[in-house]
């Protein structure tokens, strides 16, 4: 009996999955739904590697008959099911914010899954020739291209456009797309199935790193980019400096916490943040930079930003969709002076905000 093969590249894939799992459970930064995403995709990749070894075993013991060729074609078709399955898990991660584009993506993914099943009997994407070499079916190029487009669309629509992605995360996700394209290109032109699973593992690792960085730069209470994100995007920025900065402070939060408890205070902060984000997002990036402190960096005209701030400031309540809380805050809007550094602009915005706060407190005292 022939020994069961051990393919080194597949073992590397499994090691990458195990690395992600060990790191994920040793440092539980991700929320449960993200942990489930990487668990399920990791299991899918490991199952694919096992099927790949099964294919190799039957290939080594094959008698080159038509029955053997059909068996190997069946195993290979099952192996490629991992791609639509992994895309399905990516789509389900976004299900709380499902829209028409996600429904279309799911339909396309189901079609890819069905075509992989049909490929067992009828060559849709590939078949094995008389020498058992993988050969592209006539329309295989369209399937490879369509699969890559679907993957890119899911990442762009459900991750880059939905969450607080910055330039660092965008670069990571772009390289994820490039590596996935390289894997499918190698498989299409060279029949290099091993390369596509290696690329799959690298994509899995980079997606995990992108997700960790996303959580590391997201405030868990408000869902806004946090101080880490603000420091990276603002204080470490050397080019394309934003011309307008607004510093915010929620008024009377301490008294609210003392009277209603910190859980209610968190709901208050979330309602304020989401209301302000709803109005301010067209004009810049909104951050939570401290306990009750927020910042807006904007490249819009100061007058436009001021108009929105006036609208928010005259609102008595937060948007009802986010909670029944007062819309009570102070702010300082400043415009960059020639030669002014980011630190100097931030200090001036903070000073303007506290001056505004003192004026409000003074008027309340009278």
- Region 273-278 average pLDDT: 92
Q: What is the pLDDT of residues 296-339, one digit of tens each?
A: 999 899 999 999 999 998 888 888 888 888 888 899 999 999 88
Residue environment code for 212-241, b if the CB has 16+ CB neighbours within 10 A, otherwise e:
bbbbebbbeebebbbeebbebbbeeeeeee
Q: What is the predicted pLDDT for the residue at 2?
A: 54
pTM for the predicted model, two decimal places: 0.81
147-201 pLDDT, tens per residue? 999 999 998 888 777 666 777 778 888 898 999 999 898 888 888 888 888 899 9
The residues pairing with 341 across neighbouring beta strands, listed in sequence order, are none
Q: Which two tokens stand for residue 81?
A: 């099911």
Give tens-digit pLDDT for 188-217.
888 888 888 889 999 999 999 888 888 888
**Confidence bin at 37 (pLDDT 50/70/90):** very high
What's the average model confidence in pLDDT over 339-360? 88
Kindly state the tokens that stand for 117: 């099943």
For 101, list phi and psi in degrees, rounded to 5.
-60, -35
What integer best gives the mean pLDDT of the chain?
Answer: 87
94-139 pLDDT, tens digit per residue, is 888 888 999 999 999 999 999 999 999 999 998 888 878 888 998 8
Phi and psi torsions of 360, nearest 5°: -65, -45
Share of the chain above pLDDT 90, in %: 45
User: What is the predicted pLDDT for the residue at 48?
Assistant: 93
Q: What is the mean pLDDT of residues 284-294?
A: 90
Alpha helices in the chain (DSSP H): 8-26, 32-60, 66-79, 82-93, 100-118, 140-155, 167-190, 193-216, 227-230, 253-260, 262-280, 302-313, 342-365
Separation between Cα atoms, residue 325 and residue 321, nearest integer Å: 11
Full set of structural domains in the chain with CATH: 8-216 (1.20.1070), 227-365 (3.30.70.270)
């Amino acid at each position: 009996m022939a020994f069961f093969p051990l393919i080194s590249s597949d073992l590397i894939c499994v090691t990458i999955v195990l690395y992600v799992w060990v790191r994920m459970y040793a440092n539980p930064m991700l929320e449960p739904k993200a942990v489930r995403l990487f668990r399920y995709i990791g299991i899918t990749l490991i199952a694919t590697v096992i099927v790949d070894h099964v294919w190799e075993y039957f290939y080594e013991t094959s008698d080159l008959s038509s029955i053997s060729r059909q068996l190997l074609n069946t195993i290979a078709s099952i192996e490629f099911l991992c791609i639509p399955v992994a895309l399905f898990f990516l789509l389900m991660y976004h299900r709380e914010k499902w829209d028409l584009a996600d429904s279309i993506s799911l339909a396309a993914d189901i079609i890819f899954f069905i075509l992989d099943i049909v490929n067992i009997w009828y060559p849709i994407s590939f078949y094995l020739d008389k020498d058992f070499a993988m050969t592209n079916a006539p329309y295989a190029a369209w399937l490879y291209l369509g699969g890559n487009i679907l993957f890119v669309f899911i990442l762009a629509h459900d991750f880059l456009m939905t969450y607080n992605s910055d330039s660092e995360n965008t670069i990571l996700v772009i390289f994820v797309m490039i590596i996935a394209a390289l894997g499918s290109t190698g498989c299409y032109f060279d029949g290099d199935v091993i390369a596509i699973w290696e690329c799959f593992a690298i994509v899995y690792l980079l997606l995990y790193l992108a997700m960790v960085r996303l959580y590391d730069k997201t405030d868990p209470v408000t869902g806004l980019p946090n101080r880490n994100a603000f420091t990276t995007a603002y204080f470490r920025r050397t080019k394309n400096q934003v011309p307008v900065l607004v510093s915010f402070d929620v008024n009377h939060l301490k008294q609210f916490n003392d009277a209603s408890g910190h859980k209610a205070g968190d709901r208050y902060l979330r309602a304020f943040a989401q209301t302000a984000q709803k109005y301010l997002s067209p004009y810049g990036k909104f951050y939570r930079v401290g306990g009750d402190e927020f910042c807006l960096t904007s490249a819009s005209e100061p007058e436009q930003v001021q108009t929105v701030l006036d609208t928010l400031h005259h609102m008595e309540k937060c948007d009802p969709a986010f909670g029944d809380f007062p819309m009570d805050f102070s702010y300082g809007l400043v415009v960059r002076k020639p030669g002014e550094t980011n630190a100097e602009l931030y200090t001036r915005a903070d000073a303007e905000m506290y001056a505004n706060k003192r004026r409000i407190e003074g008027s309340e005292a009278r």
